[in-house]
Structures are given as C-alpha cells and as structure tokens.
Chain A
C-alpha cells in the first residue's frame, strides 16, 4: 500500500525555487531517509507532507488523502518530531503526555502504556527544559507515538545527541517500524541512513538526484560507505 505519493511537486519562496519537479512514492512499513545539503528543501518537503506548508504545483497524497484539502484527516493520523522540539519549556513530561493525549481523546490507559513502552517513569515529573537531549527526543517520540500513527515524520531527530542517546533513539524507532509503521526522516548522518533506512532520497538544489536502497546505491557506484555515495551525488566527487 502506498502511504505517500508525490508527483511533480514544485515549491518556491518568492523567486527562490526550493523544490523542482519532485516525485516519489513510499510504501507502508518503509523507513525512508531524505538527505541533502542545507537549504536544499528537505524540511520544506517534509512540512508539505505534514500539512504545514502549501505547494505551488503538483499532487500530494498522504495516507490516501489529497493535500491540502484533507489536511485535518492527515493531521489526526501522523506523528511528528520537529528539529526545534516543539514543546513548552516549563511543562512536565507527564503533563505533556496528558495534554497531547487530550488532543486525540485518549485516556490514561494509553498514557500508561506509552510511559511503559518508552521507559519514561523516572522523568515524569521533570520539566521539559531540564531533560537531556536524548531524553527530550525520547519524550517527543513517545508523544508522537501516543495516538498510534501509521506514518511518523522525524526532522533531524538525532541532531545534537551523543552516540549512546542516538543508538537508544534508533532502537526505539526500529521498534516502531517493526509494527509496520512508515517512517520518513531527514538527517545529516550518513551512518544512520546506511544503517537504518530501507530507502534514501537524495535532494540537490530542490531536485531528487537519487532514490533507492542505500546498499543498491553503494553497489551501483562501487562505494564502500554511504557518505561516499552522498558526495558523489551532491558534489560530483
């Protein structure tokens, strides 16, 4: 089943063309990474799919719903982690879970399940701004996962995390993926793409220059590491 369909997508900010003729599809259960240099349109693409931005031309379908017309339906079905975090600094973890659970009319049972699943017990009474980077991301992932979304967007989820926190977060993400959920993420870590993603989309100057499995791309270009593949496409090295 196709979870995301994007066809001939164009997006500009004034005279700056950020996305040019972008087309791709994502199957259910895939982890797809979007990579590319800064300013190449990764976050814009993700934000269009998350219903946060309008697009100029093309067709976008998420979970079978056409955007922007069915944005409300899509919003109720997706989970999200933003680069900026997206959480009040002075809210406690248990309060954040309670607040976001209320948006989806979820009861205390679901909050208890999530606390258990993400092992948040010891941090429930800690304010968000006092959590370490790794625990912040884990809480955000837990919140994103509260309403059992079929599709999860992660915008640079491991930026600023130490290797241990990154590994723990990825273990959680993989656990989510095992339930046949689809994950679409942006990252600057080529290791993460190589290790965890089923597919990678490389963007350059707002266009897709590669869209395949990381292993296939390495074989195709006869490279040992994915970062070599990345530089081949992005810088022609």
Chain B
C-alpha cells in the first residue's frame, strides 16, 4: 500500500456518506435542475429561450454553493461537534487530508451540477453552449475555490449544528434573493442593491456570465472577489491562532 493510499478510502467514504445523507444529495442535484426546467419552460412560452442562457452559469454556481456552503460547511461543523476531526487527526493523517476530501467532493459535485445544467439547457431546450466553455470551466474551478474558502472560514466560527443551522439558512436566503438568481438586480431599490453588491455570490455570477458570453468581466466584480479572498484568509489566520491542533 502507498503512503497516502488511505486518502483514496477517505474520498470514497466521503462520497458514500454524502449520498446517504437524505437532506443533501437530492436537494443539491435535483431541486436547482427542477427550477431551471420550470423557469426555462415558462420563459420559452413567452419568447426566445436562447436569452435564458445566462442562467446556465448562475444555476451551476447555485449547485456549487449548495454543495460547498450548505453541505460541506454544515458537515464541517457537525464533524467537529461529533469529534470526527479529533478522531481522524489522532490517526496518522492530518487536517489537510480532511480539507482535501472536501475539495474533491466540492469540485466533483459542482461539475456534475454544471454538466447537468448544460445537458438540460442544450438537449432539453436547445440553449446553445458557450463558445468559451473551456475558459468558463477554469473560471468555474476558481469560483469553487473561493466558495470553499468562504464556507470553511465562516463555518469555522461555529462549534455546533444548533448554532450553524440558522446562519446557513439565512445565508441561503440571502444568496437566493440577492444574487440575481430570482430577480433582476436593476429592479431592486437602491438600498437593496447595496445588499446585493455585498454578496460575493453575486460577483461570482457576474464574472461567470461574462466568461460564458465570451466578454471581459467587469473589474469591480473581480476586485470584490479578490477582497473576499483576502478577508477570508485573514479570518482563517485568526482561527488558526486559536486552534490547538
């Protein structure tokens, strides 16, 4: 057996556990797809469905958000609460392997979500796939990385599931209603637009849409994401100083 062959098993069981948790795999992989189909069908009956194509990157990012923020973030808290971190750290592995399993799951499930959206959009509704798909996928990986950084940083402040559930539900509502997913931002009042601009997922959506449409992303969106990364790294350093193992 290789020195790190245990990591393959960690990844394997990480996926098995993910698919066994009743409240995670189904909502993450099916509910966004269901809403995408419903909204696209509605849109198709009013006009040209091709203009709906910007929702392919938005819904892909939503699946990524659900996987990384909702599922992995909450699991990281419950694993800590159940002593799983401590138990695993005491074995000849370390915390970085646990984070690595989260990265593998986050990337794989996010890409499954992206492929799901591409197939529904293209085969189901004839929505064209971006000419810039390869670059879009690279940018999508960066978005996954930022999302993971945000998720582990913010969930790192919580000690138990009881505390984290209201927070995660609140953030989910915020992302849902203040990222351009449900309503066009331009139709919101000026005051509400500030809430949208403070939302990193909104900036991820804008950058992803620009890449999808083969346009240069807006610098303000990129800077907002850079600021998000810097803030998360600073918060992680604060947490690391408090951590004992």
A residues near B (Cβ < 8 Å) are 50-54, 72, 75-76, 78, 80, 82-91, 95, 98-100, 102-105, 127
Q: Is B26 an interface residue (CB 8 A)?
A: no
- Contact digits for B76-103, partner A, Cβ 8 Å, 1 yes 0 no: 0011011110111111110000000000
Contact across chains for B9 and A78 when beta carbons are under 8 A apart: no
Closest to A77 in B: B92
Contact across chains for B244 and A53 when beta carbons are under 8 A apart: yes
Contact across chains for A75 and B13 when beta carbons are under 8 A apart: no
Contact across chains for A52 and B82 when beta carbons are under 8 A apart: no
Known: A90-B20, A98-B9. A75 touches B82 (CB 8 A): no
Closest to A96 in B: B13
Which chain B residues border A53 with CB–CB below 8 Å?
A: 244-245
CA distance A76 to B91 in the complex (A): 6
B residues near A (Cβ < 8 Å) are 1, 5-6, 9-10, 13, 16-17, 20-21, 78-79, 81-84, 86-93, 244-245
Known: A75-B92, A76-B92. A82 touches B86 (CB 8 A): yes
Contact across chains for A52 and B17 when beta carbons are under 8 A apart: no
CA distance A72 to B88 in the complex (A): 13
Known: A84-B81, A102-B6. A127 touches B244 (CB 8 A): no
CA distance A233 to B79 in the complex (A): 37
Which chain B residues border A83 with CB–CB below 8 Å?
A: 83
Instruction: Give the Cβ gap from B164 to chain A, nearest Cβ, in Å.
Output: 16
Which chain A residues border B244 with CB–CB below 8 Å?
A: 52-54
Known: A53-B244, A98-B9, A99-B13. A87 touches B91 (CB 8 A): no
Contact across chains for B92 and A87 when beta carbons are under 8 A apart: no
Instruction: Give the Cβ gap from A18 to chain B, nearest Cβ, in Å.
Output: 12
A-B contact pairs, 11 of them (CB 8 A): A50-B90, A52-B86, A72-B92, A83-B83, A86-B83, A86-B87, A87-B83, A91-B16, A102-B9, A103-B88, A127-B20
Choose from A84, A100, A104 the contact partner of B83 (Cβ within 8 Å): A84
Closest to A107 in B: B1
Contact across chains for B1 and A105 when beta carbons are under 8 A apart: yes
| CB contacts between A and B, total, < 8 Å | 78
Which chain B residues border A85 with CB–CB below 8 Å?
A: 82-83
Secondary structure dominating the interface of B: helix
Contact across chains for B17 and A86 when beta carbons are under 8 A apart: no
Contact across chains for B13 and A91 when beta carbons are under 8 A apart: yes
Contact across chains for B20 and A52 when beta carbons are under 8 A apart: no
Contact across chains for B10 and A82 when beta carbons are under 8 A apart: no
CA distance A88 to B13 in the complex (A): 10
CA distance A91 to B10 in the complex (A): 11
CA distance A99 to B13 in the complex (A): 8
Contact across chains for B82 and A87 when beta carbons are under 8 A apart: yes
Contact across chains for A103 and B83 when beta carbons are under 8 A apart: no
Contact across chains for A102 and B5 when beta carbons are under 8 A apart: yes
CA distance A54 to B242 in the complex (A): 11
Which chain A residues border B21 with CB–CB below 8 Å?
A: 90
Which chain B residues border A54 with CB–CB below 8 Å?
A: 244
Contact across chains for B90 and A88 when beta carbons are under 8 A apart: no
CA distance A166 to B92 in the complex (A): 30
Which chain B residues border A87 with CB–CB below 8 Å?
A: 82-84, 87
Q: Which of A76, A88, A103 has the most CB of B within 10 A?
A: A88
Given contacts A53-B245, A75-B89, A86-B82, 6 further A-B contacts (CB under 8 A): A51-B90, A52-B244, A84-B82, A87-B87, A98-B9, A103-B88
Instruction: Give the Cβ gap from B3 to chain A, nearest Cβ, in Å.
Output: 8
Contact across chains for B90 and A80 when beta carbons are under 8 A apart: yes
CA distance A102 to B79 in the complex (A): 20
CA distance A168 to B67 in the complex (A): 41
Instruction: Give the Cβ gap from B13 to chain A, nearest Cβ, in Å.
Output: 5
CA distance A51 to B13 in the complex (A): 26
Closest to B78 in A: A89
Known: A82-B83, A90-B21. A75 touches B90 (CB 8 A): yes
Closest to B89 in A: A52
Q: Which 6 pairs from chain A and chain B are nearest by CB?
A: A86-B87, A84-B83, A86-B83, A102-B6, A103-B91, A82-B83
Instruction: Give the Cβ gap from A223 to chain B, nearest Cβ, in Å.
Output: 35
CA distance A50 to B78 in the complex (A): 22
Instruction: Give the Cβ gap from A178 to chain B, nearest Cβ, in Å.
Output: 24
CA distance A129 to B16 in the complex (A): 15
Choose from A78, A84, A90, A102 the contact partner of B90 (Cβ within 8 Å): A78
CA distance A87 to B20 in the complex (A): 15
